[in-house]
Chains A and B, each alone.
Chain A
Amino acid sequence: MKEWVGFNFQREIERVREAFGFDYVGIALVQSPERGFELKWAHVTGNKSERHRRIKLQSGKGVAGLVFKTGKPIYVGDALQEVGTDSLFNYPIIVAEGLKSFGAIPLYKSYRVNGVILVGYRKNQGLTLEQFEEFKREIGTGFGPFYDKEMVSDESVQQ
Chain B
Amino acid sequence: MNQFSNENLPSLLMNLYGNSGEAIFFFDRNGKVLTMNSAAKDILDKDVYEQMMAGSTGAICRTCRGYTSSDELQTCHSCYMSNPDENISSFQVYFDTKGKGVIPYSGSIHTIDEESGIRVFMLRDLTQQFKTQEELNQKLMMKRVIKAQEDERKRLSRELHDSVAQEMLSSLVDLRVLKYMNIDEEVLKKVQQTEGSLMRLLDDIRHLSVELRPATLDDLGLEAAFRTHFKWIEKNYGLIIHFHPELESKRYEGEVETVVYRICQEAVFNALKYAEVDELVVRLYEAVGFLYLVVVDEGKGFELKNTDPKGTGLGIYSMKERAELVDGNLQIRSEIGKGTVIQLEVPVVEGGGNK
Chain A interface residues toward B at CB < 8 A: 33, 36-38, 49, 51-62, 85-86, 89, 92-93, 96, 110, 112
Contact = CB atoms under 8 A, between A and B. Distances in A.
A97 to B, nearest CB: 11
6 tightest Cβ-Cβ pairs between the two chains A and B: A51-B238, A54-B238, A55-B238, A92-B237, A89-B273, A56-B235
Contacts of A60: 204
Contacts of B207: 58
Interface stretch (B47-55, B193-201, B248-256): B193-201
Contacts of A36: 199-200, 203
23 contacts: A33-B199, A36-B200, A37-B200, A38-B235, A53-B238, A54-B235, A54-B238, A54-B240, A56-B235, A56-B236, A57-B235, A57-B236, A58-B204, A58-B207, A59-B200, A59-B204, A60-B204, A61-B236, A85-B310, A86-B312, A89-B237, A89-B273, A110-B193
Contact of A112 (B193, B237, B273, B278): B193
Interface string B235-272: 11111100000000000000000000000000001001
Interface string B207-248: 100000000000000000000000000111111100000000
A106 to B, nearest CB: 15
A52 B207 CA distance: 21
Contacts of A58: 203-204, 207, 236
B99 interface: no
A120 to B, nearest CB: 17
B311 interface: yes
B278 A51 contact: yes
B204 A62 contact: no
Given A85-B310, A89-B272, A92-B238, 11 more contacts: A37-B196, A37-B203, A53-B238, A55-B236, A57-B236, A58-B207, A61-B236, A62-B236, A92-B236, A92-B239, A112-B193
A112 B273 CA distance: 33
Interface residues on B, range: 20 to 34
Contacts of B273: 85-86, 89
Contacts of A92: 236-239
Nearest to B273: A89
Contacts of A53: 238
A128 B22 CA distance: 69
Contacts of B236: 55-58, 61-62, 92
The residue in A38, A57, A58, A93 that gathers the most chain B C-beta atoms within 10 A of its C-beta is: A58
Nearest to A111: B193
B11 to A, nearest CB: 64
Contacts of B240: 54
Contacts of B193: 110, 112
A3 to B, nearest CB: 15
